[in-house]
Structure 1
Amino acid sequence: MMTVASNEFEDPPTRDQTYYISDGNTILQVENTLFKVHRSMLIKDKSTFDSMFSLDAYTHNTEDPQMNNTSEGESDENPIRLHGDKAEEFSALMWSLYSLPAELALAMTNQANDLQLIHLARIAHKYQFRSTESWALGALTTYHSNTGGSTSVQNLVQITELSILCDCKALLDAAVTKWKRLLGEGRAVAVAIGVAERLNLRSLLGLAYYSMMLKGREVWDSDPQLNARQRIRLLSGHYNLIRLCEELPSSPPRLTHDHSCVRKGKCKNAFAAFWRLILTTKDGGLVGQVLKLQSADLLAKVMLAESIIRAFAEGNIPNLDLSESGEMHEKCLQIALQAAHDKVKEVQDNLVDLFSDVV
């Protein structure tokens, strides 16, 4: 027999308004809601229900015929009880099985109900509706990869968890992109820290800690969502970033010469001087913008350095005084630009390592 347990609810269960179908032949109870659907729909896609019903049929056929047994699922009084599921999840599964093509097509647009798709993907994964799970994950990925697809922070948490549960990299990438957008706006930072720690998302975790650090210690200490260990990590990260920012002007990215360059060490020295000029000048204008950044804002500094080198390489800063640094071979300048780009990526990839538990 299938799951049998005493009624967990004080109030009698109520029939679902949409999926208590008059000619259905199987009654299931999820939480305090009754669903009456067609068994043939439940066994689609070789789902777990297929094997469950096969086992139930075998058990029923081998029971003593003298015993008066009423099979589960044949009446409201003896439904098949699905424990651990939510009624809205099962309703989403029924929606996917009974909907018309036009209704399903809507889920691939900006008008999709992302919470319904979350419920669907989760329960489809649990009961091994493989094609349904794949379709729901695809719809969610399409929705959340589109900049027009909006979602609440609570739903974004569920999307991130779901992508890990179902091992869906495309959906995870879309979710992380939305988290980064929120962090850039200074929103839901503590939530992002909690999610990234729980799911071990290193790149997101580093950016989340970094975003919180830039808010300042007064914010860290007053945010109720942060615990003592997380505040220690923020202090550690602040200290490490201050130190790296102090070292940054004298630590240019490694430059390799173009094979056609005959200047040997001159380009390397010129790039080192240019890098130092970008990060230490007290002049105003484009280069001086770096002084407006926070002293620990390492990522912004290397990103600004890259943008200045790019602008210079493209001839958009024609009057920049490089008398201290000297000229660079044109092709070596392009290599320097790539080196600066690699430096930005290196900082982004290693941010999380700067926020250790020890100050």
Structure 2
Amino acid sequence: MAHLSADVFAGSFMSHSGEVSPSTPKLQLHLSIPIPSRDSTYYIADGNTVLLVENTLFKVHRSTLTKDASTFDSMFSLDSDLRSSSHVSGNSTVTTVGPEGENDDNPIRLQGDTADQFRALLWALYSLPHELSVALTPEANPLQLFNLARISHKYEFRSIEAWSLNALTQIYTRPMHPPSNKEVDGPTLEQLTELASLCEQRDLLEAATQRWRRRIASGKDISLAINVAERLNLRALLGRAYYAMLLQGREVWDADGHLTRAQIIRLLSGHYTLGRLWERLPNEPPPFIHSPRCMGAAVVRCNQTWAGLWKSMMDMGRQGVLLQYPDVEGKLMLAESMLKTLMERDMPTPGLLEAMPWCKEQTLMATAGKIRDIQESLVDYFVDV
């Protein structure tokens, strides 16, 4: 990086005795001013437009940037009418500066973009078909596609945006793709989630959410998931993250430096409301539709049997020493497992299943439905009241 320097002279300095010392040496003030450098690939000799992104100069063709009805089309239309000139009187000559983008001294400045993002856009605009096809293979560069999707969304290259998002989705839904927080040479999971939400790409957002769920299940980045989900209003992910943090316990909440006071209050609220739910559940068996063969008095008997069986399973959940008090999901899944065992092994169950011979499968579906309902509404239990 080059630097420019300037000398600042001290006219006089006071000596220790209070007298002016004319012999005090001059001071040199070094100003560090980076000089833009030309991009090694996309400073094209016969290009007709110079753009400055961060500290990199790109020289490309205006006709290329106006493809896909992008915002560059309107930008260049406005720019063609702008001129700036400076006049100096006396013996100085008049210097006229042409439109922005005409040369390195007066480039079009793109604010808020990175050189890598703009380079990714030019890669998509200038590459040959066989070069672009690499993005749809395991050799694709996730970070390049991420940068491309972000900048093409900003400047409204609609077809390029759709293509890059589709390529990213293929990468992150590929079975062998490593489910880590920071993919190799790729964006972080937070960046990927933000992009999917910004571009409203459901499949990519679902792929990112599944990665969050795996990390949350392993106890990693739970508070980060809470903050990302709150910022992007991802309710399903937010409920799962809050629930996982709830089961970590108060000591972990207090030690975590990323949780706000409001978030801790929501965790306390979740602990209370889920605990109350668990207290009610034994007396609230989930309803189910009876088998057509279950009629008349058999329906009454079936309902009574189901209520007793449900309460018994809930009581077993209360005795589960490995499950925490507010872990309603875990206790319901334990109950579902016990119910499956009773049915699959055809165990003798006097007073439990013998009185409901035609509705066993319906009760299992009702239990699974109850678990699903609670999972889908988890975020509603963590309300700051």
Q: TM-score, normalised by structure 1?
A: 0.87
Mapped to 1, the partners of 2:39 and 2:358 lie a distance apart of 70
How far apart in 1 are the matches of 2:225 and 2:40? 37
User: How far off is 1:196 after superposition?
Assistant: 0.8
Preserved CA contact (<8 Å) 1:115 1:155: no
User: Aligned partners of 2:192, 2:239: CA distance in 1, in Å?
Assistant: 20
Q: CA RMSD in A?
A: 2.3
Trace 1:195-206 onto structure 2 (pairs within 5 A): 195-206=228-239
Q: How does 1:339-350 map to 2 (within 5 A)?
A: 339-350=366-377
**Residue 79 in 1 paired to residue 114 in 2?**
no
Q: Which AA in structure 2 matches 1:304?
A: L
Residues 1:222 and 2:249 aligned together: no
Q: CA deviation at 1:305?
A: 2.1
Do the aligned partners of 1:274 and 1:322 also contact (CA within 8 Å) in 2? no
Aligned to 1:5: none
Question: Could you tell me which residue of structure 1 aligns to residue 329 of structure 2?
Answer: 299
What's the counterpart of residue 146 of structure 1?
174
Q: Distance in 1 between matches of 2:196 and 2:136?
A: 18
The equivalent of 1:157 in structure 2 is: 190
Aligned partners of 2:97, 2:283: CA distance in 1, in Å? 83
1:210 corresponding residue in structure 2: 243
Question: Distance between the aligned counterparts of 2:108 and 2:300, measured in 1?
Answer: 78
Q: Aligned AA for 1:229?
A: A
Counterpart of 1:4 in structure 2 is none
**Partner of 2:365 in structure 1?**
338
**Please, which runs of 5 or more residues in structure 1 have no aligned partner?**
1-8, 61-65
Structure having the higher strand fraction is 2
**Further displaced range: 177-186 or 105-114:** 105-114
Aligned counterpart, 2:201? 168
2:311 equivalent to 1:276: yes
Checking the alignment, whether the CA contact within 8 Å between 1:229 and 1:357 is kept in structure 2 is yes
Going from structure 1 to structure 2, the CA distance change for 1:23 and 1:307 (only over 3 Å counts) comes to: farther
1 CA distance for matches of 2:126 and 2:379? 46
- The answer on 1:43 being equivalent to 2:63 is no
**Partner letter of residue 89 of structure 1?**
Q
Distance 2:267 2:138 in 1: 38
% same residue: 49
Work out which structure has the larger RCO, using CA pairs closer than 8 Å and 6 or more positions apart in sequence.
1
- Gaps of at least 5 residues in structure 2 are 1-31, 84-93
Q: Tell me which amino acid in the other structure corresponds to 2:384.
A: D
User: How many residues are aligned here?
Assistant: 337
SS of alignment partner, residue 27 of structure 1: strand
Which letter does structure 1 place at the counterpart of 2:39? D
Deviates more, 1:244-253 or 1:304-313: 304-313
Distance 1:108 1:292 in 2: 46
Distance change (3 Å), C-alpha of 1:110 and 1:222: farther
**Distance in 1 of aligned mates of 2:131 and 2:245:** 42
d(CA) in 2 for partners of 1:128 and 1:291?
56
> Structure 2 length normalisation: TM-score?
0.81
CA 1:352–1:13: 2 relative to 1, 3 Å: same
